[in-house]
Structure 1
Amino acid sequence: MEITWKGVMPAVTTKFTADDNLDLDMFKKNIHAQLNAGVNGIILGGTLGEASTLLAEEKRELTRFTKEIVGDRIPVIMNIAEQSTKGAIQAAETAEQDGASGLMMLPPMRYLADDRETVEYYKETAKSTSLPIMVYNNPVDYKIEVSLDMFEELLKQDNIQAVKESTRDTSNISRIINRFGDRLKILSGVDTIALESLVMGADGWVAGLVCAFPKETVAIYNLVKAGRIEEALKIYRWFLPVLELDINAKLVQNIKMAEVATGIGTENVRAPRLSLNGKERENVQNIIDTAMASRPNVEEYLSV
């Protein structure tokens, strides 16, 4: 499947049962909520997916199961976050075998690779698969930045096609467009500046709080792309306190609490993560409760 790299693509959470197994029933319920809202892709195995705690066979099961649910309606994209080029190549091959439509790739984990090493990591993995690739550029959290000069080299590989832009510098979107035009598709990777990024020219939004609020997220995207900025801003300003739960070390626990509030998830996380408690939990719950009390009706915007 070709990927157009636009629209809203949820980085979905992984659902667990109370006894720490995959909760495929709740996972399916959430995926259907995403589909009903009109998202443009599903991304598995990211930070929100608790990928670092998933067993290899669980990742395979999630890929195959998601593909069964969505069929050919939208792409299923598997994240790759590996420590070695060999591991990344193996992960790409496995994802392709299991029916993934594309890959999202972080730079090498743990080892702080230099520019040359990072480029080779991406290029060698890209050569090993026919799947289209979105580079996840998040130097804030992962300490490696893929520069424009590095992208110039990476784009020599036809299947490196997009960037999840998470530098948190919205002006970088203009730099990318000025340098590459339409050659490199841009998807905003930071919920709190997604609207601004879309206005600046980003093609899509790899979203986090969409896991709990799919319709609101799609509505904002649709309105911005239709040029109806004031209407988008009204929803976005309501949404912002909740979106800020995504730029936090406990984003997984935060977003799972929000999924409970909207009826499409549970709080179950995999250790060493633990569900929130005490004042921390109270603060997050207050943010969610406040948003739920004034939640807008966005149905009319889903077909804009």
Structure 2
Amino acid sequence: MNWKGVFPAVTTKFHQDGSLDMDMFFKNLEAQVKAGVHGIILGGTLGESSVLSLEEKMVLTKETIKELNGQLPVILNIAEGATQDAIFWAHKAEELGASGLMLLPPMRYAADARETVTYFKAVAKSTRLPIMIYNNPVDYKTLVTLPMFEDLLDCENIQAVKESTRDISNVTRMINKFGDRYNILCGVDTLAMEELLMGASGWVAGLVCAFPKETVAIYNLLQEGKIEEALKIYRWFLPLLELDIHPKLVQYIKLAEQMAGIGTEYVRAPRLTLVGEERIKVENIIKRGLEHRPII
């Protein structure tokens, strides 16, 4: 598994009646592939995993792998409350042909450091798939600390971290402590350029769902050392990227996908599509972005 590049955390597309819209899902997937992304992440927050049935998650995983046909690695997110359920999904992901896993700490129960490390190790030992730990204490209330990552060093298939602590200096701390043992991927759109410049190897992106070309362009330009060129795109992009750090990021990004022509705004309850002043505000941000979209 090459944990480098842009990895869209793709949204799950629905029809207005709430059923899966695989045609629109594949249309967006095609746009991601065409833009040159480096992998696809299924079943994250943006994928509305918490409101998908077990069967729907399997369909999405199986059909994505089939559609991509080896063009890109497919990473399945695991966000479970029980260790046995996380292990079930690790086995199922391997069985369905996924390339890797993104693994959150235990959900709902606030596990301490020993319990979290034990959970991670149990999942890692249950599968041959490479794993990226999702470190997001802001949204999920569990901080995976440097000592915890040190305890995980013997799990060779734990290879990467989705860095979402909102602390840019944590990239440097990880590199100072572990060198290149863990690949670090920025998981916060508004900090992506900064973390890539500080040594992150990739970007688990949200607004890429609506703006794949621009996201990949920033990454590629930075790899080429063309910081000024990347900065011009990033400055245009920032008001849109800020849609990723709001509790309604799913609704906001799905509306952006719809306005960009590669998605629909339909979400599954309890989420509701945007209305009123909030909708107008978000539409205006997206409209301005589209009107001044850079030529890539």
TM-score bucket of the superposed structures, by smaller chain: over 0.9
Quote the residue 1:302 is aligned against: none
Distance 2:155 2:244 in 1: 32
Pick aligned residue for 2:221 from 214, 223, 228: 223
Distance 1:289 1:74 in 2: 31
Quote the residue 1:151 is aligned against: 149
1:15 aligns with 2:28: no
Quote how far apart the aligned CAs of 1:224 are: 0.9
Quote the residue 2:92 is aligned against: 94
**Bigger mean CA offset, 69-78 vs 160-169:** 69-78
Calculate the aligned-residue CA RMSD, in Å: 0.5
TM-score normalised by L of structure 1: 0.97
Quote the residue 1:189 is aligned against: 187
TM-score normalised by L of structure 2: 0.99
Letter in 2 for 1:198: L
Quote the residue 1:44 is aligned against: 42
Equivalenced residue count is 296
Quote the residue 1:59 is aligned against: 57
- Unaligned runs of 5+ residues in structure 1 are 299-304
Quote the residue 1:76 is aligned against: 74
Distance 1:269 1:95 in 2: 25
| 4+ runs deviating over 6 angstroms | none
Quote how far apart the aligned CAs of 1:40 are: 0.4
Letter in 1 for 2:213: K
Matches within 5 A, 1:104-119: 104-119=102-117
Quote the residue 2:136 is aligned against: 138
Quote how far apart the aligned CAs of 1:155 are: 2.0
The Cα offsets for residues 9-50 of structure 1, whole Å up to 9 and x where unpaired, read as: 000000001111110000000000000000000000000000
The Cα offsets for residues 117-170 of structure 1, whole Å up to 9 and x where unpaired, read as: 000000001100110000000001111011111011112111100000000111
Distance 1:78 1:196 in 2: 26
Quote the residue 2:292 is aligned against: 294
Letter in 2 for 1:192: T
Pick aligned residue for 1:180 from 155, 158, 178: 178
* Same amino acid, percent of matched pairs: 67
The Cα offsets for residues 230-274 of structure 1, whole Å up to 9 and x where unpaired, read as: 110100000000000000000000000100111100011000000
SS of residue in 2 equivalent to 1:279 = helix
Letter in 1 for 2:103: M
- Unaligned runs of 5+ residues in structure 2 are none
